[in-house]
Structure 1
Amino acid sequence: MSRAGTLTRLERLDLLASRLKAQEPMTVAAIAEEFGLSRRTLFRDLAILRDRGLPIEADRGRGGGIRLHRTWGIGRLTLSYREAVELLVSVAVAERMEAPWLIANLAPIRRKLAASFSPALRDRIDGLAQRIRVGGAASPAVLQGFSRPEEKSAEALCRAFLEMRLLGFDYTDTEGSESRRRVEPHHLMLNYPVWYLVAWDTGRGAVRSFRLDRMRRAQVKPEEFRARPAAVFADAFAGIAAVAS
C-alpha cells in the first residue's frame, strides 16, 4: 500500500506543512514519490495549504523545487501582553523622535499592534505618543549616578502608563532618602539614556518627576485615573523642574 493510502488527507497536509516549515530542500518529484502521490494530487494539496495562508513557491517542471517564501513567518508573530505593551511604548517613542527613515512606517505598525488590544484600550494607544517627550542627552552629572532600571519596575511602569492605572513604587531621591509613592503615571520623558516619569503624586497632591532607575518594587494598582489638563504639567517639562522630594 502506498504511503498516501495510509494517511488521511488532513494528516498528509499537516505532514507536508511541517516539511515545508523545516525549510529542507525539496523537489516536486521527491515529495510526490515520498508521499506516494501523483503530481496532480501534490499540487492540489499545495493549493489547499496556500489557501490556509502558507506562501508556497514551486518551480515549474518535475524536478522543480518547493519552498516557503522567505517572509512566510511575517504576520504570524505572537507577542505576550508585556511584549506588546513595551513594543507600543517603543513605537510611540520613535514617533516622537520623528526619525525620517522610520516615521512613514510607524503608523500602520501601531495600528496593527492596537488591533490585538481590547477596544477600551485602543483610544489610549492612539494618544500614546502625545504623552511621551523626548529631550536632549542627559548631563554628565546625571550620567554619573545613572544605573540600569529594575526590569520588573520598568515593566510595571509601561503597563500602568498604557492602561492609565495608579502605580506604587519605592523611590530613592537625590539625597538618598527612601519613600513609598503612589502616583498617576501621566507622561514619560527621555533625556537619553535616562527615563523620567512625570506623574501626579496622590500623596502630595502635586506633580512630581521620578527617574526610572531610582524606582524599585513598582506595582500596578487596580484603580484607573483620568488625564489631567496639560497645563498642570507645564512646569515639569521646563527642564524637569518639578523634581521628586
Structure 2
Amino acid sequence: MNRSNAKDRLDRLEQLTAILKSEDALTTKTIAAELNVSERTLFRDIGVLRERGLPIEADKGRGGGIKLHRNWGAGRLSLENQEMIDLLISLAIAESMGPTLFMGNINTVRHKLMASFSPKQKDKIHQLRQRIHIGEQASPDVLQSFSMKKHETNATIETLHTAFLFNQRLSIVYHDFHDQETQREIEAHYLYLGFPVWYLLAWDHLRNDVRIFRYDRIKKADILPQEFTLRPLKDFNAILTKQNVSTL
C-alpha cells in the first residue's frame, strides 16, 4: 500500500469511527455509501477497528446492521448548559439547511460532535431536526422592518431556545406589525427561517390557536413551569398556507 492509499484509509477509518460513535445502528449499505466504498471494504475496515479495541457489533444478515456495543462509552464534551443548548440547536439548524458553500463537511462535523454526546443528547438532536424548517429568503419589506440588536436580544433568545428545547411554556411580550404590544403565553413548537429572519410556530393561549411570532418582535421572554406536548406540524399547515411567512 503506497503512502497516499495509506493516508486515505487512515482518514476513512477515522470517519468510520466517528460515524459509529455518533449513531445507534446503521446498515452497512448506508455507511458504505457515505464513505464511498464497497461493503466488502467496509467490513475489512471494521476488522481493523476491532483489532484496535473498538467493540463493534456487525450483522451480515438482512439489513446488515452495525453498531458499537451498548456499554461502550465515548468521551463527553465539557460544556455549560446554555452552550450545550446553543450547540444542539445550531447543529440541527445547519443540518436542516442542507449543503451550503461553507458547510460541505457537515456530515463529518456532525459525526464527530455526536460522538461526544450522551445517548439522551443524541435523541434530542434527532428530535430537533424535525422541528426546524427552512423556507424562502425574507422579502425586501420584511428586511426593511427587521432588526436584531445583539445587546438587547441575547438573553431573550437564550430563553426562547431553552423553552423550545425542553418543551416549556413561555410568557412573552410581543410587538406586532403595527407595534402594538401584547402579553402572550405560548408554546414554541417549531422554528422557521426565512433568512435572515427567524419565526416561532407556536400555540398561542391568548388566541387559543396557532400563531407565528417573529423573533425580533419578541421583546421579553420568561419560562413558565408548565410543559407541553409537541403538536404535529400539520396543525400549522393552514396558517402557513394562509399567510406567506416570507412577507410577515
Q: TM-score, normalization: structure 2?
A: 0.61
Q: Does 1:129 align with 2:111?
A: no
1:233 to 215, 223, 236: 236
In structure 1, stretches of 5+ residues that fail to align are 1-74
After the TM superposition, which residues 1-245 of structure 1 pair with which residues of structure 2 at under 5 Å, given as runs?
Answer: 78-99=78-99, 101-109=104-112, 111-112=114-115, 114-115=117-118, 119=120, 123-148=123-148, 150-238=153-241, 240-241=243-244
Q: How many residues align?
A: 167
Q: How much does 1:181 deviate?
A: 0.9
User: Could you tell me how far apart the structure 1 residues matched to 2:99 and 2:175 are?
Assistant: 34
SS at match of 1:234: helix
CA distance 1:232–1:95, change in 2 (3 Å): same
Q: Could you list the runs of 4 or more consecutive aligned residues of structure 1 that deviate by over 4 angstroms after TM superposition?
A: 239-243
CA distance 1:142–1:242, change in 2 (3 Å): closer
Q: How much does 1:201 deviate?
A: 0.5
Q: 85-94 or 230-239, which moves further after superposition?
A: 230-239
Q: Match for residue 35 of structure 1?
A: none
Q: How much does 1:209 deviate?
A: 0.4
Bigger relative contact order, structure 1 or 2 (CA pairs below 8 A, ≥6 apart) = 2
Aligned AA (1:235) = A
Q: How much does 1:221 deviate?
A: 1.4
SS at match of 2:223: strand
**Is the contact made by 1:235 and 1:242 (CA closer than 8 Å) also made in structure 2?**
no
User: Could you tell me how far apart the structure 2 residues matched to 1:194 and 1:92 are?
Assistant: 17
Q: Match for residue 30 of structure 1?
A: none
**Is the contact made by 1:95 and 1:106 (CA closer than 8 Å) also made in structure 2?**
no
User: Could you tell me how far apart the structure 2 residues matched to 1:113 and 1:206 are?
Assistant: 39
Q: How much does 1:82 deviate?
A: 0.7
Q: How much does 1:212 deviate?
A: 0.4
CA distance 1:206–1:106, change in 2 (3 Å): farther
Max Rg structure: 1
In structure 2, stretches of 5+ residues that fail to align are 1-74
CA distance 1:77–1:138, change in 2 (3 Å): same
**Is the contact made by 2:199 and 2:215 (CA closer than 8 Å) also made in structure 1?**
yes
CA distance 1:220–1:106, change in 2 (3 Å): farther
Q: Deviations over 1:11-35 (max 9, x none)?
A: xxxxxxxxxxxxxxxxxxxxxxxxx
Q: Match for residue 42 of structure 1?
A: none
CA distance 1:153–1:204, change in 2 (3 Å): same
**Is the contact made by 2:187 and 2:203 (CA closer than 8 Å) also made in structure 1?**
yes
Q: TM-score, normalization: structure 1?
A: 0.61
